[in-house]
């Protein structure tokens, strides 16, 4: 397969304290049926053996695997690391992959085919296996799950419809490892927001996806191309354990509300969805009964319809 820039996929991997998982992640890229890819890893100064592992692969395949680091040699977070890699990316497509997740072998082959069939689409993602069973423990394997995606068939959403659905919980927010974008769409979005670090780091991917969904057509495919590894050292799990996850999401929603207004993006339906999501985060116990009531009334309506149809 040709490796010219029109078909090249630039795979972006920020590397931070991923020594246990990084080899498996890299090997899942090398095992792709689609071979027009380059892998750009960024050492984010985690202080473990991750950089040495990444450097080993870069030395072995320098024509397609690159290891970068920040000019100051400091830890700057996933968003800054991804932006650095994107600035060096040569491909027409950008595929995101975290250093602890794994792709299935058909991931790039099928996703590039879909993007080529939908030239108006700027971003594509599917569902993900939430992968607890990587430990090979029976109890963890039993926890593996595939969440509700919110679409039954492949669906293209015009901006900003998908973002409003994600805010209301009617559609799933993608896992980064499931996402591929056109390079031009990343450029139009302005890239990742490097201010979402520290206590707010668990929301940095939400910020980027919102910026893209506000501008681009997005294809959601009801397929699984990756394994999203669940473990207690992930950014999100650490935020939950430290009691920071809810505050980080609310900070994201505050940012989103201001971003929409400042840039004159979205519509009334989106603004209503933002306010709904903010109210839910402010008063989760109040939102809980409302959600349960909607589910109850929906079940009653379904029962009535079944009885009527049976008559």
**Residue-range domains of the chain with CATH:** 9-245 (3.90.550.10)
- Strands 155-157 and 217-229, by their bridges, are antiparallel
Q: Would you tell me how many other CB atoms lie within 10 Å of the CB of residue 103?
A: 22
Query: Which residues lie closer than 8 Å to 308 by C-beta, 6 or more apart?
Result: none
How far apart (Å, rounded) are the C-alpha atoms in residues 267 and 259? 13
Measured on CA atoms in the order 48, 82, 270, 297, is the torsion positive or negative? negative
2 has pLDDT over 80: no
- Euclidean distance between CA atoms 74 and 87, whole angstroms: 18
Average pLDDT of the segment spanning 161-171: 96
This prediction has a pTM of 0.88
Residue 283: per-residue pLDDT? 76
pLDDT in tens, 32-78: 999 999 999 999 999 999 999 999 999 999 999 999 999 988 899 99
pLDDT at 307 over 70: no
The percent of the chain in helix, strand and coil, each rounded to the nearest 5, is: 50, 20, 35
Neighbouring residues of 138: CB distance < 8 A, sequence distance ≥ 6: none
pLDDT-based confidence at 279, cuts 50/70/90?
Answer: very high
46-71: string of b/e by CB count within 10 Å (b at 16+)?
beeebbebbeebbeeeeebbbbbbbe
pLDDT tier for residue 238 given thresholds of 50, 70 and 90: low
* CA angle 210–215–221, rounded 5-degree value: 70
* Band (245; pLDDT cuts 50, 70, 90): confident
Reported as a single tens digit per residue, the pLDDT across 258-278 is 999 999 999 999 999 999 999
Higher pLDDT, 134 or 310: 134
């Amino acid at each position: 397969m040709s490796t010219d820039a029109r078909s090249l996929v630039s795979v972006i991997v920020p590397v931070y304290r991923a020594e246990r998982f990084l080899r498996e992640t890299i090997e899942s890229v090398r095992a792709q049926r689609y071979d027009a890819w380059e892998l750009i890893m960024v050492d984010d100064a985690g202080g473990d053996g991750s950089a040495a592992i990444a450097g080993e692969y870069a030395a072995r395949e320098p024509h397609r695997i690159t290891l970068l680091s920040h000019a100051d040699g400091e830890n700057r977070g996933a968003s800054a690391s991804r932006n650095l890699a994107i600035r060096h990316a040569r491909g027409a497509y950008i595929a995101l992959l975290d250093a602890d997740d794994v792709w299935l072998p058909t991931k790039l082959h099928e996703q590039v085919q879909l993007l080529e069939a939908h030239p108006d689409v700027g971003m594509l993602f599917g569902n993900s296996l939430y992968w607890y069973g990587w430990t090979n423990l029976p109890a963890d394997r039993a926890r593996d799950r595939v969440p509700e995606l919110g679409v039954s068939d492949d669906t293209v959403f015009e901006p900003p419809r998908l973002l409003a659905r994600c805010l209301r919980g009617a559609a799933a927010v993608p896992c980064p490892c499931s996402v591929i974008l056109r390079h031009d769409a990343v450029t139009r979005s302005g890239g990742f927001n490097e201010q979402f670090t520290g206590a707010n780091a668990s929301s940095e991917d939400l910020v980027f996806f919102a910026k893209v969904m506000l501008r681009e057509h997005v294809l959601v495919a009801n397929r699984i191309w990756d394994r999203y590894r669940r473990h207690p050292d992930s950014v999100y799990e650490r935020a939950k354990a430290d009691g920071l996850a809810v505050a980080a999401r609310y900070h994201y929603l505050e940012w989103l509300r201001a971003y929409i207004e400042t840039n004159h993006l979205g519509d009334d339906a989106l603004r209503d969805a933002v306010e709904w999501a903010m109210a839910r985060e402010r008063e989760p116990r109040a939102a809980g009964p409302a959600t349960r009531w909607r589910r109850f009334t929906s079940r009653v309506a379904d029962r009535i319809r079944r009885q009527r149809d049976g008559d």
